[in-house]
Chains A and B, each alone.
Chain A
Amino acid sequence: MTDIAEAFAAAFSLVYHLDSDLGEIVLLSLQVSVGAVAVASAVGLPLGAAVALFRFPGRGAIVVILNALMGLPPVVVGLVVYLVLSRAGPLGVLGLLFTPTAMVIAQVLLVTPIIAALARQVIEDLWVEYEEQLRSLGATPRRALMALLWDGRVSLLTAVLAGFGRAIAEVGAVMIVGGNIDHVTRVMTTAIALEVSKGDLALALGLGIVLVALSIAVSAAAALLRGTLAQGRPR
């Protein structure tokens, strides 16, 4: 019990004193996860829509794989990205290991399947409704895809948020490829893991409380955006 009380005190004190290290960590967490989700959305949304729209050999297998990849363990992704970006690995010359870029890459791999799989479901449901009308109007596949992505925007925002939730809460992958270097690659989750390993549970939980508050702020912002996007939804 005392630990929990201390945790709230620690969280409050961190925020109240506008701890500059905390600010840096929060900013980097947002940069990495928002960046990863932006890239994953740019890839995953059209990918999901394409799988929903087009019939091609192996499509069923892709759907199964996408759904399965939603549960990819972050540590495995981290390890794979480490092996690729390591100096001994195929992309070692880029020198990206232990940089925020490496963390973004790992999170993109984690988040893209989630966004793509959820987008596929959303777009497929919408396509059932829209197909004949869009073909009647003479929409090319590309225009049909764009129209479906735009009209599915409210549900797709939820898919993107699910991806963001995964990214911001994930520790296994960013720990391995980022290295949890102070002032360089330390984010909320790796800072929490560090405090746990130091045995400072109250501070760890305090950081956790800040992380939860951050997630709430992001989803509140998304709700505001959703309200704006939803113009055009049924009553």
Chain B
Amino acid sequence: MRLPGRSRGRVFRLFTALALALLFAVPGALAGDFITVASTTSTQNAGLFDHLLPLFEAETGIEVRVVAVGTGQALRLARNGDADLLLVHDRPSEEAFVAEGYGSARFDLMYNDFVVVGPASDPAGIAGMGDAAAALAGIAAVEAPFVSRGDDSGTHRRERARWAAAGVDPTGASGTWYREAGQGMGATLNTATMMEAYTLADRGTWLSMRGRLDLRILVEGDAQLRNQYGVTLVSPERHPHVKAALARRFAEWLISPGGQAAIDGFTIDGERLFIPNAN
């Protein structure tokens, strides 16, 4: 393709203009007051933040930036001072976080529960059991496929605790019937469907996805499967740069009657995903 000189110049000008326009175009959100929240994929995947954050932002003008990772990584981010607030669901490690001086305060926020889901064929015959540990022992006994998050998330930590209670160490079978996905909750549920396997899921993600899954709830209601979410403030004494005041406003809003009502009002298909329980 040979262009005459003049139109060649025009092409160059066009490209230069495009490149400049692209680089200087203002990104959607202008950075005003904002805080960074380290949270879990389960809350993000369920859509909770899409429901809550616009309400909070409209009320206060504070932008909340959510980095959704596994609970283990979220704790790591907060420990390094890379987040102002922690919203996760592994109470022992949250309390340790505060005890070690990384957090200044922790509040109960809301809960739902974990459920053991699996294929309708239920090869281990655990449907209707009320004790998750016993159900896991049953799965191990017949070596039925089980997909684990395998990502040190809050859900994964809870699953490991139930295996310990069942007296089974499934990691020895890793790669055979016990499969560690190393992925988020949604991907893990998809994997379980494909493999016709059992898995432990949080109810929020389960409810938001169940229409696309060929799985059903087999075990629920065990007190040990309660999934408590907490909100923890990162200590400004440890990390002087954190936006402690703004973070506290968000935390206080979450546990205020208004925030709790907002959580209570978040439903999918008429079912409530999280039950507020701040005291």
Interface residues of A (CB under 8 A from B): 24, 27-28, 30-31, 34-35, 38, 86-89, 92-93, 95, 97-98, 100, 179-184, 194, 196-201, 221, 224-225, 227-228, 230-231
Contact, CB under 8 Å: B28 / A181: no
Distance to closest chain B CB from A93 (angstroms): 8
Residue of B nearest to A88 (CB): B80
Q: Does B52 contact A (CB under 8 A)?
A: no
Contact, CB under 8 Å: A199 / B190: yes
Contact, CB under 8 Å: B29 / A228: no
Contact, CB under 8 Å: A231 / B2: yes
23 A-B pairs whose Cβ atoms sit less than 8 Å apart in the complex: A24-B28, A28-B28, A31-B22, A31-B25, A34-B19, A35-B23, A86-B81, A87-B80, A98-B36, A98-B65, A179-B36, A182-B49, A184-B27, A194-B44, A196-B187, A197-B187, A198-B186, A199-B209, A199-B212, A200-B186, A201-B190, A227-B2, A231-B2
Contact, CB under 8 Å: A95 / B19: no
In the A-B complex, the 7 residue pairs with the closest CB atoms: A87-B81, A197-B184, A199-B186, A227-B1, A179-B67, A88-B80, A198-B186
Which residues of chain A have C-beta atoms less than 8 A from B29's C-beta? Answer: 183-184
Which residues of chain A have C-beta atoms less than 8 A from B184's C-beta? Answer: 197-198
In angstroms, Cα B27 to Cα A100, docked, is 10
Residue of B nearest to A181 (CB): B65
Which residues of chain A have C-beta atoms less than 8 A from B67's C-beta? Answer: 98, 179-181
Interface residues of B (CB under 8 A from A): 1-3, 8, 11-12, 15, 19, 22-23, 25, 27-29, 36, 41, 44-45, 49-50, 65-68, 79-82, 183-187, 189-190, 208-209, 212-213, 239, 241
Given A31-B23, A34-B22, A181-B67, residue A197 in contact with residue B45 (CB < 8 A): yes
In angstroms, Cα B15 to Cα A227, docked, is 13
Residue of A nearest to B208 (CB): A198
Contact, CB under 8 Å: B3 / A227: yes
Contact, CB under 8 Å: A179 / B65: yes
Which residues of chain B have C-beta atoms less than 8 A from A230's C-beta? Answer: 1
Distance to closest chain A CB from B57 (angstroms): 11
In angstroms, Cα B67 to Cα A92, docked, is 17
Distance to closest chain A CB from B149 (angstroms): 11
Contact, CB under 8 Å: B241 / A87: yes
User: Chain A interface secondary structure, helix, strand, loop or mixed?
Assistant: helix
Distance to closest chain B CB from A22 (angstroms): 12
Residue of A nearest to B209 (CB): A199
Which residues of chain B have C-beta atoms less than 8 A from A35's C-beta? Answer: 23
Residue of A nearest to B234 (CB): A87
In angstroms, Cα B23 to Cα A28, docked, is 10
Distance to closest chain A CB from B70 (angstroms): 11
In angstroms, Cα B77 to Cα A92, docked, is 12
In angstroms, Cα B242 to Cα A86, docked, is 12
Given A184-B29, A228-B11, residue A199 in contact with residue B80 (CB < 8 A): no
In angstroms, Cα B10 to Cα A228, docked, is 10
Contact, CB under 8 Å: B8 / A231: yes
Contact, CB under 8 Å: B3 / A34: no
Distance to closest chain A CB from B205 (angstroms): 8
Residue of B nearest to A35 (CB): B23
Contact, CB under 8 Å: B82 / A228: no
Which residues of chain A have C-beta atoms less than 8 A from B80's C-beta? Answer: 86-89
In angstroms, Cα B81 to Cα A179, docked, is 14
Distance to closest chain B CB from A168 (angstroms): 13
Distance to closest chain B CB from A191 (angstroms): 12
Q: Point out the residue from A27, A98, A201 that lies within 8 Å of B82, measured CB to CB.
A: A98
Contact, CB under 8 Å: A197 / B185: yes
In angstroms, Cα B42 to Cα A194, docked, is 11
Which residues of chain A have C-beta atoms less than 8 A from B2's C-beta? Answer: 227, 231
